[in-house]
Amino acid sequence: MKRFSVIGAGNLGSYLIDALVKKKYSLKYIYKKSKNRQFAFAITDDIRLLVEQSDFIIIAAQESKIGEAAELAADSSLLKGKIFFHTSNSLTSDELSCLQEKGARVASFSPLQTFPEYSAAAAADVFNGIYFLAEGDPQAVNLARQVAGDLGAHVLAVNKKEKIYFHIAGVASCNFLIAVLELAENQLKKVGKHDIKILLPLIKQTLKNVEERGVKASLTGPVKRKEIGIVKKHLEALEKNPDEAALYKALTKFLQRRRENL
């Protein structure tokens, strides 16, 4: 089960291709286009050939296009025994049901990781130690475990109803973190040409505290100390920017409610 193809070779698809090829998996085809020209040799627009010559196919397209990609692949007459994965954390294996109905084995196999623009340097260990969520056909999930193991990653077997909560957790810890860091950086810009780099030691220590002590035990600052006067001063300083003030208020209220349970 070493021959694979990819539909949707964007950032994640390119990292997967690079990592799997380095682990001696055989890249057969990439459907139509690749964000990384390094893999241009494998591009084809023949979806039936792609399916026929692959043991497993990874659909790494964006969420709104996964169903369309599955329908396209379902036109092949050689689906029995083929394994299909999609890589979306927000969708379940049901998105590939049209393939399953024709004899393919399907699973969602999605990494809890963020993938910036592809670069060879970043590709070296981007999967090492991360977690993939997997659910679907047992044989497909078993292959997912093998692939993840070869990449130095872990697999969490989940059920369909759980996936949305993992996705919310991922968005909160990645995208919402970016929003909070932008709020922080905006304050630095108000007092000079400083950027987020001067806060990196604080950020790294906070993450170290979380790793060692857990999330709740890592809370420090005015909310934990119930210094409401400090919070009011912050809000006064932010009043000229309604968006910043609203975000600060929402996060403070959330922390205050959680603080009551500490």
Task: Indicate if the pLDDT at residue 108 is higher than 60.
Answer: yes
Of 117, 102, 201, 109, nearest to 151 by C-alpha is 109
Q: Which residue has the higher pLDDT, 40 or 56?
A: 56
Summarize pLDDT for 140-174 with one digit per residue, the tens.
999 999 999 999 999 999 999 999 999 999 999 99
Specify the CATH number of the domain 3-158. 3.40.50.720
In CATH terms, the superfamily for domain 166-259 is ProC-like, C-terminal domain (1.10.1040.20)
2 contact partners, CB below 8 Å, separation of at least 6: 24, 25, 26, 55
CA distances from 206 to 212, 217, 221 (A): 10, 11, 12
What's the confidence (pLDDT) of residue 208?
A: 97
What's the confidence (pLDDT) of residue 260?
A: 66
Summarize pLDDT for 174-189 with one digit per residue, the tens.
999 999 999 999 999 9
Which residue ranges make up each domain of the chain? 3-158, 166-259
Say whether 78 sits in a helix, a strand or coil: coil
The pTM of this model reads 0.90
What's the confidence (pLDDT) of residue 262?
A: 43
